[in-house]
Structure 1
């Protein structure tokens, strides 16, 4: 690829505000404890790479604008703004202020330029709007912006959504709905739940400092970003190794079972078979442990150094009574597992996975409520980052229906994210495009650490070439 193409950026074609096609009747929604903690985080930036449809670009843009207007009617909060009342409580006001729609052109780039490089190319960052915007800015900025970027033979459709308004479950339910409406569906398949009557809604006020909110990490730190793909077979072999079993693939284990999804998960179509093979350490916990060991080795930490692996977990099914699986908002908490670098590397993979497994199993209704009580005793925002150089945060989830976004001309060729909330140690787990339990790991680390895990035999034996 020519150097001039490498440094080219998409050109702006148009930008306009899209309003819901019907006025909202939804009242103000109070931010929950989980929402408030995200106010200093960047907007969520996710999107899909698609082949070019057999439509003129004008027809395509018109179709997507119409679908977005219809989607905003189904998701009134995303057409609103944040507001703070006189007592300091922060709400989403569903005032139909609208969402931004941006159309850009990057016709010098081809699909192969996005998929072929070993490391995620810099141009991908420009496919996402609201770069480095923090969620507290939703008081004056749109809570949602959609960007469509034309490539020579494809296009990239991305959404930037305020992280104090949605978590991953809510984000992908909106994206899926947007795609459904674009392909002509009159009735959406998954209706969001906008209730605000759980323990997550607190009477305690989060006081915003006079200087406002800022991210807690260096947004301009030099980092390396790579996608590591693990096939269904690799995941099965990894899980079997961790559970000290020989895996026999009889062909009837679906993706939901591989990822140990709760039976009320909105994206799980079958109940789990509680067999001996999936009653122990899950595939995802096994994968997290594998990465924890590889990153710890690559960082060359002293044996006495305490490392942290933090996993984001969905609390909807953990609460009693349970939240609706499609509860709209943030219903996530972080589970932190600590171990010294020496313990991680001197013990086997099963030991590391077992530490994660114990913490995940223990995160029940009482634990969720204890997290809320702890926040109420000291209201604060979530401070992502890696200040001591020995932590990892694993977000997103291979459970999310990232490849169910068919706008009328086929599923995405790939899913990517922007530069939001990225620092040394930020890992995002995506579903693999081939499905069946395959996983893509979006790994963001210091350049030397990425080079280290690329040569880590224990890790790379499970990675697809």
Structure 2
């Protein structure tokens, strides 16, 4: 029998251990504390923590233990996911600041929602062998009230970074089980706007699970749903149990730990600092990529076309040697493709990785259709037989060791385009923005829908030395060319329309490189 280590990596952490049974309702007890301040590196952004409290379900919930699958155990080492929701203060209203996201009301609606989604009020613990499991104890979640003396505009761009996560999302400090699975920070800004930071441990489920829960909280607060009629999440994950005996039918190199981490792409012995950027594509941009990615036997989807273009640009920007191999990893939700299908209400991790590889020489020289075809070949493995083989492989390999880190020659692509990301309306409108507050490792690529149009955004994290070149390559497909130096930047490059300068707006910037888009194309 496999023995599990009860200690977890440093990034798996918490503020509290189990709370007193007498703590029944969130709003009935607030922990007294000295004023805590979160300060940015330059000292210009300060978030003051006003109060910390514990929100519990507003009624008794079933006490049960949730068995975790091998895919869950891989996700356990992905630790926490930091998310932010941005809500602008409605300027044309008669609301007083206290009536916009009133703290006690928000906590009360959260307590009601937790009575249905009790998994989020539980604790990650372990069984007698040390194997991680979730215990639905009803002990509650941390709720932090915070304030910032800046407006949201003055606070600056909300691009994923460790600093943004530190300022707007709760932290974890403990390395020992049991610990809290979810926590929140509600930060009110000088302009009246609010940013809700959410930190959820990945063992609670995937992105769709977290969004469904958050959206339900918003609906409960808005009063448009009867709590008693909310379909509860399905917590039984045994549909993803390994077979006995296990049957591994594929080479699951995506889950095999490398003997050693590959050297950084620039050849240095030290990995350079990372940076994240969000790039925007209009509907016309997307259609152009889809046209170039399609061919006789392939009608490329938005995901395939944009990921193919991004993978190609990242590979070029990294300046890898021609004989190296670059690999794309794709996250695939297996709930609907296994047989029998899993419930869409299942709170669990069911994402498996598919992959495609190319030599760098082929990647940089081939057309986009060739790259897209390789991606479609990888997607063809999205079926029950492959998923079952993954689960069995993790059982043989020992799923507690986590998933290998994305290597300097790899890209991990994750689609959020079908997630209902912008539906959480607490009563004053939908969020202006929802996304990750931090992306800790380079090589990750997230795709999501833009609000208000048919475009998408692409957020990626790369080594800082590669980002500027990547952005130039990324936008070079859309009739832009290098056309001069911005006087306000030391090494800036302006990308203009090939047929002359037109009215522009800045759509991206990094390392002194300014990317401008023609107003006529917006």
TM-score range, shorter chain: 0.7 to 0.9
1:160 counterpart (199, 202, 214): 199
Is 1:195 the counterpart of 2:236? The answer is yes
**Alpha-carbon distance change, 11 to 458 in structure 1, aligned in 2, over 3 angstroms:** closer
Partner of 2:222 in structure 1? 183
Please list the CA deviations of residues 36-68 of structure 1 after superposition, one character each: whole Å capped at 9, or x if unmatched: 111222301112111025343376111211121
Partner of 1:114 in structure 2? 156
- For the residue of structure 1 that corresponds to 2:311, the secondary structure is helix
2:283 counterpart (232, 240, 260): 232
Does the CA-based 8 Å contact 1:42-1:132 persist in structure 2? no
Deviation, structure 1 residue 459 = 5.3
Partner of 1:243 in structure 2? 294
TM-score when normalising by structure 2: 0.72
- For the residue of structure 1 that corresponds to 2:125, the secondary structure is strand
Partner of 1:78 in structure 2? 120
Does the CA-based 8 Å contact 1:128-1:160 persist in structure 2? no
Does the CA-based 8 Å contact 1:386-1:424 persist in structure 2? yes
- For the residue of structure 2 that corresponds to 1:7, the secondary structure is coil
Does the CA-based 8 Å contact 1:45-1:128 persist in structure 2? no
Alpha-carbon separation, structure 2, partners of 1:39 and 1:86: 18
Alpha-carbon separation, structure 1, partners of 2:200 and 2:148: 23
- For the residue of structure 1 that corresponds to 2:102, the secondary structure is helix
Is 1:403 the counterpart of 2:422? The answer is yes
Please list the CA deviations of residues 123-166 of structure 1 after superposition, one character each: whole Å capped at 9, or x if unmatched: 532344344779xx583321000111112221111211011221
Larger RCO (CA under 8 A, 6+ residues apart): 1
1:4-403 paired onto structure 2 within 5 Å: 7-25=44-62, 27-52=64-89, 54-57=95-98, 60-111=102-153, 113-115=155-157, 124-131=164-171, 139-153=177-191, 154-187=193-226, 191-200=232-241, 222-244=273-295, 280-380=299-399, 381-387=401-407, 389-403=408-422
- For the residue of structure 1 that corresponds to 2:64, the secondary structure is coil
TM-score when normalising by structure 1: 0.81
- For the residue of structure 1 that corresponds to 2:166, the secondary structure is helix
Alpha-carbon separation, structure 2, partners of 1:98 and 1:417: 23
Does the CA-based 8 Å contact 1:312-1:395 persist in structure 2? yes
Does the CA-based 8 Å contact 2:164-2:438 persist in structure 1? no
Structure 1 range deviating more: 104-113 or 405-414: 104-113
Does the CA-based 8 Å contact 1:5-1:109 persist in structure 2? no
Partner of 2:254 in structure 1? none
Alpha-carbon separation, structure 2, partners of 1:236 and 1:152: 41
Partner of 2:31 in structure 1? none
Deviation, structure 1 residue 78 = 0.6
Larger radius of gyration: 2
- For the residue of structure 2 that corresponds to 1:28, the secondary structure is strand
**Alpha-carbon distance change, 41 to 233 in structure 1, aligned in 2, over 3 angstroms:** same
**Alpha-carbon distance change, 328 to 29 in structure 1, aligned in 2, over 3 angstroms:** same
Structure 1 regions of 5+ residues with no counterpart? 205-215, 246-275
Deviation, structure 1 residue 26 = 5.2
Structure 2 regions of 5+ residues with no counterpart? 1-39, 246-259, 265-270, 481-506, 508-516, 518-522
Partner of 2:16 in structure 1? none
Does the CA-based 8 Å contact 1:51-1:412 persist in structure 2? yes
